[in-house]
C-alpha cells in the first residue's frame, strides 16, 4: 500500500512564478471575479484567414438549411462536428449563428464544447474572452469542469505532462470555485503527489476559507498523515 500523502498546512506554490510575473485571467476574461491565473499572458488568439471565414459561413449556411428542412438529427451532428473546429473560429461562429437567428444552436455548441479535451476547452475560452465574450468563456469552462472529479484530475495530469501551466491554472481556478471541496478532493486520486499541491494553490487563490475547506476535505479523504 502506498504511503499516505501529507497535506501541508501551508503548501508551497507549485504553479506560481517568481515576483514580477503577473496574475492574469486568460485573455482578459473576468470569469465572474475569479482569482487571476498564475502564468505568462495567454498566447494571442490566432488570426482567421479567408478560408476559415468561408468555412464558418458555409457551415452556418448548411445548418440553416437543415433547420429549415426540419432535419434536426443532421443539424445536431453538424453542430457536434463544428464544436471541434479550431478555437480561433469560436467567436466568428457566435456572430454568424446569432446573425442567422440560430442563437439556440450557439447555446448547444457551447454545451458540446464542454466535453472538449482540457487544452482545447481552455483554448476556446481564451478565444472567446479575447473577442470580448467573457460570459461565453466562463460558461464553457464552468460546464467543462462539471465532468467527474477523476476525469478532471486526469485532464490536469495530461496538461502537466504537456507543460501547459497556464491552462492548468485556468482550469483549476474555475474548478475549485464551481465544485465542492469534497468533489475537488476526489479529483486528486489519479496522482495525489502531483495534484494535491496544484489544487491547494488554486484554492488559496480563491480565498483562505476555500483553501482550508479543501485541506480539511483532503484529510477526510485520507490524503494526510
- Break the chain into its structural domains and give their ranges: 23-220
CA distances from 106 to 15, 93, 102 (A): 34, 8, 7
pLDDT at 44: 45
Residue 12 falls in which region: left (phi positive, over 0), alpha (psi -120 to 50) or beta: beta
In the block, which residue shows the cell 496574475? 23
pLDDT at 46: 53
pLDDT at 37: 35
pLDDT at 23: 31
Phi/psi at 38 (5° precision) = -80, 115
pLDDT at 43: 41
Listing DSSP states for 183-222 in one string gives HHHHTTTT-HHHHHHHHHHHHHHH-HHHHHHHHHHHHHTT
pLDDT at 41: 38
Please state whether beta strands 23-24 and 37-38 pair in parallel, antiparallel, or not at all (unpaired).
antiparallel
pLDDT at 50: 85
In the block, which residue shows the cell 484529510? 219
pLDDT at 172: 96
The residue ranges of the chain whose pLDDT is under 50 are 1-45, 225
Query: What are 8-27's pLDDT values in tens digits?
Result: 443 433 333 333 323 334 43
- Cα separation of 76 and 4, whole Å? 47
CA distances from 117 to 1, 104, 147, 171 (A): 32, 23, 11, 11
Amino acid at each position: 500500500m502506498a504511503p499516505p500523502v501529507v497535506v501541508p498546512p501551508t503548501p508551497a506554490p507549485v504553479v506560481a512564478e517568481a515576483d514580477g510575473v503577473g496574475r492574469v485571467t486568460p485573455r482578459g476574461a473576468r470569469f465572474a471575479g475569479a482569482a487571476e491565473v498564475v502564468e505568462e499572458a495567454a498566447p494571442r488568439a490566432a488570426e482567421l484567414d479567408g478560408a476559415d471565414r468561408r468555412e464558418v459561413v458555409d457551415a452556418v449556411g448548411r445548418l440553416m438549411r437543415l433547420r429549415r428542412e426540419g432535419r434536426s438529427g443532421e443539424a445536431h451532428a453538424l453542430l457536434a462536428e463544428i464544436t471541434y473546429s479550431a478555437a480561433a473560429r469560436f467567436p466568428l461562429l457566435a456572430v454568424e449563428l446569432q446573425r442567422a437567428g440560430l442563437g439556440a444552436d450557439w447555446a448547444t455548441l457551447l454545451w458540446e464544447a464542454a466535453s472538449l479535451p482540457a487544452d482545447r476547452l481552455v483554448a476556446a475560452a481564451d478565444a472567446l474572452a479575447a473577442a470580448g465574450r467573457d460570459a461565453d468563456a466562463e460558461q464553457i469552462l464552468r460546464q467543462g469542469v462539471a465532468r467527474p472529479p477523476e476525469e478532471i484530475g486526469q485532464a490536469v495530469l495530461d496538461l502537466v505532462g504537456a507543460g501547459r501551466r497556464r491552462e492548468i491554472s485556468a482550469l483549476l481556478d474555475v474548478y475549485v470555485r464551481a465544485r465542492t471541496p469534497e468533489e475537488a478532493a476526489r479529483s486528486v486520486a489519479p496522482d495525489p503527489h502531483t495534484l494535491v499541491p496544484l489544487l491547494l494553490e488554486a484554492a488559496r487563490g480563491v480565498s483562505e476559507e476555500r483553501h482550508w475547506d479543501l485541506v480539511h476535505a483532503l484529510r477526510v479523504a485520507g490524503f494526510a498523515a
